[in-house]
Amino acid sequence: MEKKFINPEGLVKPGYYTPAISVSGGRTIYIAGQVSQDAEGKLVGKGDLLAQTEQVYKNLGLALAGAGATFADVVKLNVYVVGFQPEHRAVLQSVREKHVSKEHPPASTLVGVQALATSAFLVEVEAVAVVG
């Protein structure tokens, strides 16, 4: 399996995500959007974006492991934040950088949304990973 992290000329080189990633071979894993619930389905971090984001990435790690992958295998992240404000980026980034590759960060999209599945959820993250 080969992953090629592409920063094409003419596009900004953001550093915290990669504009394009090409993968040949391997097995693709799609991780459904993870929210801030513990194993019993209880909300973690009511009203607290940082606490919820930490739980979301914990859940992503568990889902990846269950599928035989790690964060190093993630090639795409989609992040949805209720009522997104520019200052939320620092909170999200502080958690994300603990998990994703700094050398080869995944392609990524950040979207502000009006609501998620329940009014208590502030953030949801889905992932695509490829393992060899």
Enumerate the β-bridge partners of residue 111: 80
For a pLDDT cut of 90, what percent of the chain falls above it? 91
How much is the pLDDT for 14? Answer: 81
Least confident among 3-7, 14-18, 39-43, 70-74: 14-18
Report whether pLDDT(108) > 90.
yes
Structural domain including 19 reads: 2-131
Report whether pLDDT(96) > 90.
yes
The pair phi, psi for residue 122, each rounded to 5°, is -105, -25
What total number of domains does the chain contain? 1
* Torsion angle, alpha carbons of 96, 29, 42, 45, to 10: 10
How much is the pLDDT for 12? Answer: 86
| Residue range 30-56: mean pLDDT, rounded | 98
How much is the pLDDT for 13? Answer: 81
Q: For position 117, which CATH number holds?
A: 3.30.1330.40
Mean of the per-residue pLDDT values of the chain? 96
Q: pTM for the complete prediction?
A: 0.93
Report the alpha-carbon distance of residue 112 to residue 131 in Å, rounded. Answer: 30
